[in-house]
C-alpha cells in the first residue's frame, strides 16, 4: 500500500508575467516555494500568490483537472498547472532546474498566464454547430441507442475545454483559421452520436471547409497535449474516415487520394513507386490513373522538377519509371501487415473507453490518461494512437 508522503522541498518557478496596463513588455518573475514534490505546479503558483505576490494572474478553480481553467505551458509544453507534479516539472526543466510557466500559445495574452480563449477557442467551438440536432420525433422516454455508441462519444465528452491542444496545434500556427483539434473533437461528439439527425450535413460542412478536417497535418501534438486522453487528432481521423467511407465525400485538397495512393503503392510494391504517386493521386488510384486528364495536367506541371532532379542525379530514371523491387518474401510480409490491419473491425476499435484495456496485458500499466504532459513515465498506450492507422 503506497505511502505518498514525502517531505516538502524547495522549487523555483519562473513565471511569464505581462501587465497590459503598464505599457511594459512581458518579463520573467521568479518565486521559490516549498511543497511536497508530488504537489502540483498550480499549488506552487498559489503558494507564491498567497505568500508573496497576489497580483500573479492565473485562472484556476477545481485543482483536480476537471474544470479546465489552468491551461498553461510548463517548460514549453502545454498542459494543466494543477495536473503537473512539481518534481516532474523540475525534471523536464532546463539545466538550472527552474520550472518555467508561460501562457498558452495560439491565443492572445490578456494578463500574465491568462489568455483570451473567447477570441480563439470558443469561436472555433461555435463554428461546429455545437449542439445536438435531435432526430424527430423525440421519444417519450430515452432514445434507444447502442451502449458502445454512447461510451464511444464519451471520449469526446471528456474534453474539459482547457485549450492545451489549441495551444500546441501546429496547423493552427500556420493557418489561424483552422477549426482546430478541440472544436473538431467536439464535432465528433455529434457526428458519432446516433441521436443526431444531421451527421451528413455536419460532415460535408467540415470536409468541404478548406480549414476543416482535412487541414489537420497529423502531427500528434494535440494528442500529447491533452490532459484528459481525448485524443483530438484521433477524433479528426474518425471524422475523415466517416466522411470518406460512409458519406463518400471527396477531399478537395486531394490529401485523401494522395494517402490512398501511398497506401496502395506500398501494398503492391513494398516500397514507394514515385512516378506513380502524382498521376494516381490526381487521376485515380490505379495503373490507368495516369491517362486521366487531371493527372496529365499535374504531370506536366511537375515535369520541370523531375528534369531538374534527373540532371542533378537525385532521380534515377530507371527506378523512377519501373519502380523499386524488393524480395518476394519481404513483399509478402508487408502484405501480411495490411491483411492484419484491414481485418480489424472499424469505428470503435481504438476508443480508449472501449478497448483501452482489452488489448493490454493485465500486468502492464493502466492505459488511461497516459497522454498527460506531466513527464509521466508511462508511454502513451497503443490504443490511443488511432491516427497512425490509415
Q: Of 44-83, which residues contact another protein (CB under 8 A)? A: 49-51, 53-55, 57, 59-69, 83
Binding-site member from 14, 17, 31, 39 for another protein (CB under 8 A):
39
Q: In sequence order, what are the beta bridge partners of 99?
A: 13
- Tell whether residue 4 is a contact of another protein (CB under 8 A): yes
Measured between alpha carbons, how far is 284 from 353 in angstroms, rounded to an integer? 37
Q: DSSP label at 290?
A: G
Measured between alpha carbons, how far is 164 from 104 in angstroms, rounded to an integer? 7
- Tell whether residue 43 is a contact of another protein (CB under 8 A): yes
Q: In sequence order, what are the beta bridge partners of 114?
A: 111
Q: DSSP label at 289?
A: G
Shortest distance (Å) from residue 80 CB to another protein = 10
Of 238 and 280, which has the nearer Cβ to another protein? 238
Binding-site member from 77, 100, 168, 193 for another protein (CB under 8 A):
193
- Tell whether residue 146 is a contact of another protein (CB under 8 A): yes
Measured between alpha carbons, how far is 373 from 232 in angstroms, rounded to an integer? 15
Sites for another protein among residues 151-180 (CB under 8 A): 151, 153-154, 157-158, 160-161
Of 96 and 362, which has the nearer Cβ to another protein? 362
C-alpha cell of residue 208: 468541404
Interacting stretch for another protein, rule CB under 8 A, among 172-180, 320-328, 335-343, 360-368?
360-368
Interacting stretch for another protein, rule CB under 8 A, among 9-17, 133-141, 314-322, 327-335?
133-141
Nearest to 116 by CA among 130, 106, 102: 106
Of 285 and 374, which has the nearer Cβ to another protein? 374
Sites for another protein among residues 308-337 (CB under 8 A): none
Site track 277-296 with another protein (rule: CB under 8 A), x = hit = --------------------
Measured between alpha carbons, how far is 356 from 340 in angstroms, rounded to an integer? 19
Sites for another protein among residues 220-279 (CB under 8 A): none
Residues 6+ apart with CB under 8 A from 241: 346
Kind of pairing, strands 9-17 and 99-102?
parallel
Measured between alpha carbons, how far is 86 from 91 in angstroms, rounded to an integer? 9
Of 96 and 140, which has the nearer Cβ to another protein? 140
SS in 3 state form for 354-387?
HHCCCCCCCCCCCCCCCCCCCCCCCCCCHHHCHH
Interacting stretch for another protein, rule CB under 8 A, among 173-181, 246-254, 327-335, 350-358?
350-358
Sites for another protein among residues 84-123 (CB under 8 A): 85, 110-112, 114, 117-118
Amino acid at each position: 500500500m503506497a505511502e505518498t508522503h514525502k517531505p516538502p522541498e524547495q522549487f523555483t518557478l519562473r513565471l511569464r508575467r505581462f501587465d497590459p496596463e503598464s505599457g511594459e513588455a512581458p518579463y520573467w518573475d521568479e518565486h521559490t516555494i516549498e511543497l511536497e514534490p508530488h504537489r502540483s505546479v498550480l499549488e506552487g503558483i498559489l503558494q507564491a500568490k498567497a505568500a508573496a505576490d497576489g497580483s500573479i494572474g492565473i485562472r484556476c478553480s477545481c485543482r483536480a483537472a476537471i474544470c479546465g481553467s489552468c491551461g498553461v505551458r510548463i517548460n514549453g509544453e502545454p498542459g494543466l498547472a494543477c495536473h503537473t507534479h512539481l518534481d516532474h516539472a523540475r525534471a523536464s526543466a532546463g539545466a538550472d532546474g527552474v520550472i518555467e510557466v508561460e501562457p498558452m500559445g495560439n491565443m492572445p495574452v490578456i494578463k500574465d498566464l491568462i489568455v483570451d480563449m473567447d477570441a480563439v477557442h470558443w469561436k472555433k467551438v461555435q463554428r461546429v454547430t455545437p449542439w445536438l440536432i435531435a432526430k424527430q420525433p423525440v421519444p417519450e422516454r430515452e432514445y434507444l441507442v447502442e451502449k458502445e455508441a454512447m461510451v464511444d462519444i464519451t471520449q469526446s465528452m471528456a474534453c474539459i475545454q482547457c485549450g492545451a491542444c489549441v495551444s500546441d496545434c501546429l496547423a493552427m500556427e500556420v493557418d489561424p483559421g483552422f477549426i482546430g483539434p478541440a472544436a473538431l473533437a467536439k464535432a465528433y461528439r455529434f457526428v458519432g452520436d446516433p441521436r443526431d439527425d444531421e451527421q451528413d450535413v455536419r460532415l460535408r460542412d467540415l470536409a468541404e471547409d478548406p480549414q476543416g478536417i482535412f487541414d489537420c497535418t497529423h502531427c500528434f501534438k494535440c494528442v500529447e497535449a491533452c490532459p484528459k486522453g481525448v485524443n483530438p487528432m484521433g477524433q479528426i481521423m474518425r471524422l475523415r474516415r466517416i466522411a470518406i467511407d460512409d458519406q463518400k465525400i471527396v477531399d478537395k485538397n486531394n490529401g485523401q487520394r494522395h494517402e490512398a495512393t501511398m497506401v496502395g503503392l506500398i501494398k503492391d510494391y513494398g516500397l514507394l513507386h514515385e512516378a506513380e504517386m502524382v498521376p494516381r493521386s490526381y487521376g485515380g488510384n490505379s495503373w490507368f490513373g495516369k491517362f486521366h486528364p487531371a493527372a496529365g495536367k499535374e504531370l506536366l506541371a511537375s515535369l520541370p522538377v523531375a528534369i531538374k532532379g534527373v540532371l542533378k542525379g537525385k532521380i534515377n530514371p530507371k527506378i523512377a519509371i519501373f519502380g523499386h523491387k524488393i524480395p518476394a518474401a519481404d513483399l509478402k510480409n508487408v502484405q501480411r501487415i495490411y491483411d492484419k490491419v484491414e481485418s480489424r473491425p472499424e469505428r470503435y476499435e481504438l476508443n480508449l473507453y472501449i478497448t483501452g484495456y482489452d488489448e493490454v496485458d493485465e500486468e502492464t500499466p493502466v492505459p488511461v490518461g497516459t497522454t498527460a504532459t506531466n513527464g509521466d513515465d508511462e508511454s502513451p498506450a497503443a490504443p490511443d494512437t488511432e491516427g497512425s492507422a490509415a
